[in-house]
Amino acid sequence: MRRAAAVFGMACILAVLALLQMAIQAEWIDAYVIPLPTDMLASLPRLVAEEHIVARFGVTFGETLSAGLLALVVGVALGAGLYRWPRMRRAFEPWVAVFAAAPLVLAYPLFLVLFGRSSLTIVVIAFGSALAPVVLKTLEGFTAIRPVLINVGRSLRMRPADEFRMILMPAALPHIFVGMRLALIFALINVVGVEFLINLGGLGQLINELAERFDLPGTWASIGLVVGVSICFFVMLDGGERWLRARS
Amino acid sequence: MAARAKLNQAGVMLPRIVAAVVILCAWQALALSGLLFRDVIPPLQDLARGLAGVFTSPDFYANLLVTSVELLGALLVGGAAGVVVGLWLGGSRFAAAAFERWIDYLGPTPKIILFPVLILMFGVGMQSKLAMGAVSCFFPIAISVAAGLRGVNPVLLRVGRSFRARLDQKLLKIYLPAMVAPLLNGARLGFGVALIGVLLAETKLSKQGLGFMVMDAYQHFDMPRMYGLLIVSVGMAAGVNQLLQRAATPTKT
Amino acid sequence: MKALIWATALLATLQMAQAETLKIAVGQRGNWDTAIPELGQIAGIFKKHDLQLDILYTSGGGETQQAVLSRSVDIGTAAGSLGALGAASKGAPVRIISAEMTGAPELYWYVPTNSPIKTVQDLAGKTVGYSTTGSSTNTVILMAQAQYKVAFNPVASGGLPATFTQAMSGQIDAGWASAPFGIEALNQGKIRVIVRGAEIDAARNQTVRVNIVHAAILAAKRPAIERFMQAYRETLDWMYSSPDAIPTFAKFSGVSTDIATQMRDQYFPKATLSPDQIVGLDSLMTDGVTFKFLAAPLSAQQVKDVIQLQPAKP
């Protein structure tokens, strides 16, 4: 049933696109604002050739990976630290929650001045936006560890380092994976968003530039490309998470 | 018991105060060091002046109103659409299997990239910002509603059926109470992304709203004012977020 | 006496009610050429033609064009010619109703005084700002690149103040400006000019900025748009003949009357602002293709459709 439903879903989407094509050709919809879906597809080869799509993809991907991995490493460390010292946790967890809800990306002009007009600014903003959710998820993960496991460790008189390595980390791993997925997703959103806003970098900049050149088929095609990248990311993360869970 | 609670309070306050003092001192040192370009880290007194200036300027309230209207409109439109789609996906297993993955995939894409297209469709006025916010908040709300509906305890549904409850009774007495937490969570997430969507759209192309004020301050390099506006915007976002979070987590019995 | 006051008030309201409101998008607030709508409004010239202007300032021709194409405004002034022609060639319903600026004597590119960049050749590999894609600053900087054969990195840095911030804080190496912006900083020695628009041969005989409308708006509001252009011409005459012009501009833009006079006399010869002729259409087509705004030069029919100058009434 699931497979049939998935196919049905795909078919519906294609049907909608076909209807759109017909509506635009019949001039019910202004072809200028929404170009023919076929035109959008047709612009893809041109984009690949002229706009260095592959290079741009590399830039966006690299920035996302840097920001996400950095957020993961620092976030897990901070989360573990807050777990280790409950007093610090009680004091600062609400601050982290506020930080997680804050729209850091709004301050992008400031970051531009602080870090220059470069990939570094993009990575810093994305890192800052992804950090707090990772910390919160890590904390959640450590807190959810069944006390019996910790008691076993204590009864065996494990050293704190061993306890961390052999009990805490493996038990918290599923939550840390969720945190990693969060980190990479937040990073991707912010990387592409800031690229678009400051007109610098990879795919986000491409969308802005094509829009300003009024190349509407190209703009839509590149938006579709970013959505496609996001989907691939998501699928990869899902798969990776499942693989790691199966292993541990 | 009370004494221990008080001790806990003190235990929490001390690290916070220490942290705050350290951060503020580091900030002031950096501001006065002259290492960074002019005002980009302004001294604390300028920062305070900027913040005060925000509240005393009349155009702040006018722009706040504009942003609020855009935000509320976005939540209404995006929220209504999200609830309808969420209910449909949550209620039908087939629909969920067919379409929910698309909502999941589209959710994490940055919606700001749709802005040029939204401008062409809706113009450079408030409508395109509202549309931006609506598109942003549709996804987390739809996902939360679908998950919430699926999470309603089947026992409760059977009880309702055995009592031959009418649709409106089922909605009000079974579904709604059971879904309060996920609905509020969805609303909280939706509010967050709608606010970001509206503000970023305003910074990109607008002549009113809080986002416009932030960009205007930056373009005239009035950094204290820009920081003041950022603090106020972030403060409001955090405040609403806290309220919704408290409302969503029921008091433990 | 009371009756007189009431009658005057009634007449004034009727007069206001008669005035048609036109929404105008203007790129770069505070420039001399873009001040025509604002100054004409302040001087009452547009009111004389029964027009009330609602002005939205954008940070460049690209944004102005977006506002026009989404029908958020009726008229866009100071849009880049190549941007407009490029959009038209892709099927956008944009119409050019007049020239706005021919040649680029008011544009210049600058660096902070302590920058290691001393000549145009030093710009190789550096980032150089222009406002938005499709604007006149975009075109002229590309022309400069071709003329001096230097490979630098043009960057869309946005409006005048934003660009100044970026240039002074090192985010970009050279910023763009148009007089009177930055003249004070120049006089004070804070910035140095590297390239002037007046040096660019290709720009001198080319209409780099135009005034545009949406095709549907032109059809629906043609009489009002014709009156707008009449008032526009009158305001232009007033700006170069009336002694009130400089003080009014100085007050509106925030520069001193000395700088405003310096700017008008040295940077804005009146002929460059004439709306009645698109100069250098052939070179526009060639440049459009070279700089990738156009896939191919527009056909004669396309030119006739797109460029619909509103003639001056005798």
pLDDT in tens, C278-313: 999 998 999 888 887 888 888 888 888 889 888 777
Residue C214's pLDDT is: 93
Mean pLDDT score of chain B: 84
- Hey, are the CB atoms on C93 and A199 less than 8 Å from each other? no
Is the separation of the CB atoms in C153 and C128 below 8 Å? yes
Confidence class for position C143, pLDDT limits 50, 70, 90? very high
A233 has pLDDT over 50: yes
CA count, 13 A, side-chain hemisphere, C7:
4
Give Cα separations from B193 to A100, A223, B144, B190 (angstroms): 12, 19, 14, 5
Taking each helix axis from N to C end, the angle separating A53-84 and A169-198, rounded to the nearest 10 degrees, works out to 140
- Hey, are the CB atoms on B119 and C162 less than 8 Å from each other? no
- Hey, are the CB atoms on A214 and C90 less than 8 Å from each other? yes
Residue B253's pLDDT is: 40
In this structure, is the dihedral angle defined by the CA atoms of residues B2, B5, B11 and B12, taken in order, positive or negative? negative
**Residue of chain C minimizing CA distance to A216:** C90
Pick from C133, C141, C95: nearest CA to C278: C95
Task: Retrieve residue C183's tokens.
Answer: 């003249």
Range scoring the smallest mean pLDDT among C16-20, C75-79, C211-215: C16-20
- Hey, are the CB atoms on B199 and A106 less than 8 Å from each other? yes
Distance, in Å, from the CA atom of A192 to the CA atom of A222, rounded to the nearest integer, reads 12
Distance, in Å, from the CA atom of B229 to the CA atom of A107, rounded to the nearest integer, reads 10
In sequence order, what are the residues at sequence separation of 6 or more whose Cβ sits closer than 8 angstroms to the Cβ of residue C265? Answer: none
pTM summary value: 0.81
Confidence class for position A40, pLDDT limits 50, 70, 90? confident
Give kind and range of the element (H or E) at residue C184: helix C183-187
Per-residue pLDDT of A50-83, as tens digits, reads: 778 888 888 898 999 899 889 989 998 898 888 8
- Hey, are the CB atoms on B218 and C165 less than 8 Å from each other? yes
Contacting B residues, span 220-249, partner chain A, CB-CB under 8 Å: 223, 226, 230, 233-234, 237-238, 241-242, 245
Chain C residues with CB-CB distance to B128 below 8 A: 70
- Hey, are the CB atoms on B19 and A91 less than 8 Å from each other? yes
Residue C151's pLDDT is: 93
In this structure, is the dihedral angle defined by the CA atoms of residues C283, C288, C291 and C295, taken in order, positive or negative? negative
Compare C243 and B205 and report the one with higher pLDDT.
C243
Confidence class for position B252, pLDDT limits 50, 70, 90? very low
B251 has pLDDT over 60: no
- Hey, are the CB atoms on A113 and B40 less than 8 Å from each other? yes
CATH superfamily label, B56-152+183-248: MetI-like (1.10.3720.10)
- CB nearest to B220's CB, from C25, C158, C161: C161
Domains and CATH numbers, chain C: 2-102+207-306 (3.40.190.10), 107-204 (3.40.190.10)
- CB nearest to C93's CB, from A32, A213, A216: A32
B6 has pLDDT over 70: no
CA angle C166, A63, B205 (to 5 degrees): 45
Mutate to test the interface with B, among C54, C72, C171, C190 (most CBs of B within 10 A): C72
Is the separation of the CB atoms in C33 and C179 below 8 Å? no
A114 has pLDDT over 90: no
Using a pLDDT cut of 90, give the percent of chain C over it.
Answer: 49
**pLDDT, mean of residues B136-148:** 89
Chain A residues with CB-CB distance to C92 below 8 A: 32, 214
**pLDDT, mean of residues A144-158:** 79
Per-residue pLDDT of B20-54, as tens digits, reads: 899 999 888 888 887 777 677 888 888 899 899 88
Confidence class for position C16, pLDDT limits 50, 70, 90? low
Which chains does C contact via 3+ CB–CB distances below 8 A? Answer: A, B
Compare C8 and C15 and report the one with higher pLDDT.
C8
**Residue of chain A minimizing CA distance to B193:** A103
A214 touches chain C (CB under 8 A): yes
CATH fold for domain A40-247: MetI-like fold (1.10.3720)
Cα A93 to the center of its chain, rounded Å = 23
Per-residue pLDDT of C224-282, as tens digits, reads: 999 999 999 999 999 999 999 999 999 988 888 988 898 888 889 998 999 998 999 99
- Hey, are the CB atoms on C165 and B219 less than 8 Å from each other? yes
Pick from B205, B199, B215, B238: nearest CA to B64: B199
B123 touches chain C (CB under 8 A): yes
Chain B residues with CB-CB distance to A140 below 8 A: none
Q: Return the biggest CA–CA distance within chain A.
A: 78
What is the amino acid identity at position A121?
A: T
Residue C12's pLDDT is: 59
Give Cα separations from A41 to A30, A38, A47 (angstroms): 18, 5, 10
| 3-state class (DSSP) for residue B104 | helix
Chain C residues with CB-CB distance to A213 below 8 A: 83, 86, 133-134, 292-293
A162 touches chain C (CB under 8 A): no
What ipTM did this prediction achieve?
0.78
Cα C90 to the center of its chain, rounded Å = 23
Taking residue C164's Cβ as centre, other Cβ atoms within 10 Å add up to 25
Q: What is the CA radius of gyration of chain B?
A: 23
Chain C residues with CB-CB distance to A206 below 8 A: none
- Hey, are the CB atoms on B124 and C73 less than 8 Å from each other? yes
Residue A242's pLDDT is: 79
Q: How far does the CA of residue C191 sit from the closest CA of chain A (Å)?
A: 19
Domain-wise residue ranges, chain B: 56-152+183-248
**pLDDT, mean of residues C53-79:** 88
- DSSP-derived pairing of the beta strands C175-178 and C107-112: antiparallel
**pLDDT, mean of residues C165-183:** 88
Distance, in Å, from the CA atom of C256 to the CA atom of C236, rounded to the nearest integer, reads 20
Give kind and range of the element (H or E) at residue C95: strand C94-102
Contacting B residues, span 133-162, partner chain A, CB-CB under 8 Å: none
Residue C49's pLDDT is: 92
Give kind and range of the element (H or E) at residue A13: helix A2-25
What is the DSSP code (8-state) at residue A51? T
- Hey, are the CB atoms on B97 and A107 less than 8 Å from each other? no
**Residue of chain A minimizing CA distance to B114:** A223
B158 has pLDDT over 90: no
Taking each helix axis from N to C end, the angle separating B58-91 and B126-150, rounded to the nearest 10 degrees, works out to 40
Compare C145 and C179 and report the one with higher pLDDT.
C145
**Residues of C within an 8 Å Cβ radius of B:** 25, 56-58, 63, 66-67, 69-73, 158-159, 161-162, 165, 168-170
Confidence class for position C182, pLDDT limits 50, 70, 90? confident
Distance, in Å, from the CA atom of B120 to the CA atom of C63, rounded to the nearest integer, reads 11
- Hey, are the CB atoms on B40 and C169 less than 8 Å from each other? yes
Pick from C246, C231, C216: nearest CA to C70: C216
| Interface size, chain A vs chain C, as Cβ–Cβ contacts under 8 Å | 44
**pLDDT, mean of residues A93-120:** 83
| 3-state class (DSSP) for residue C212 | strand
Per-residue pLDDT of A194-230, as tens digits, reads: 998 888 888 888 888 888 777 888 888 888 888 888 8
Distance, in Å, from the CA atom of B213 to the CA atom of B59, rounded to the nearest integer, reads 9
Chain B residues with CB-CB distance to A106 below 8 A: 196, 199-200, 203, 211, 214, 230, 233-234
Distance, in Å, from the CA atom of C172 to the CA atom of C187, rounded to the nearest integer, reads 22
Residue A4's pLDDT is: 83
Task: Retrieve residue B27's tokens.
Answer: 């900030």
Q: How far does the CA of residue A99 sit from the closest CA of chain B (Å)?
A: 8
Chain B residues with CB-CB distance to C170 below 8 A: 37
C73 has pLDDT over 80: yes
Is the separation of the CB atoms in A149 and A171 below 8 Å? yes
C15 has pLDDT over 60: no
Mutate to test the interface with C, among B219, B220, B222 (most CBs of C within 10 A): B219
| 3-state class (DSSP) for residue C112 | strand
**pLDDT, mean of residues C64-70:** 88
Confidence class for position C18, pLDDT limits 50, 70, 90? low
**Residue of chain A minimizing CA distance to C88:** A214
Q: How far does the CA of residue C16 sit from the closest CA of chain A (Å)?
A: 36
In sequence order, what are the residues at sequence separation of 6 or more whose Cβ sits closer than 8 angstroms to the Cβ of residue B173? Answer: B160, B165
Q: What is the CA radius of gyration of chain A?
A: 23
Per DSSP, helices labelled H in A102-168 are 108-115, 119-143, 147-155, 160-163
Residue C305's pLDDT is: 87
C57 has pLDDT over 80: yes
| Interface size, chain A vs chain B, as Cβ–Cβ contacts under 8 Å | 139
Is the separation of the CB atoms in C133 and C2 below 8 Å? no
- Hey, are the CB atoms on B119 and C70 less than 8 Å from each other? yes
Give Cα separations from A101 to A151, B4, B170, B225 (angstroms): 35, 31, 34, 22
A90 touches chain B (CB under 8 A): yes
Confidence class for position C144, pLDDT limits 50, 70, 90? very high
- Hey, are the CB atoms on B215 and A107 less than 8 Å from each other? no
CA count, 13 A, side-chain hemisphere, B162:
6
Residue B80's pLDDT is: 93
Per-residue pLDDT of B208-246, as tens digits, reads: 899 989 888 887 778 889 999 998 888 888 888 888 877
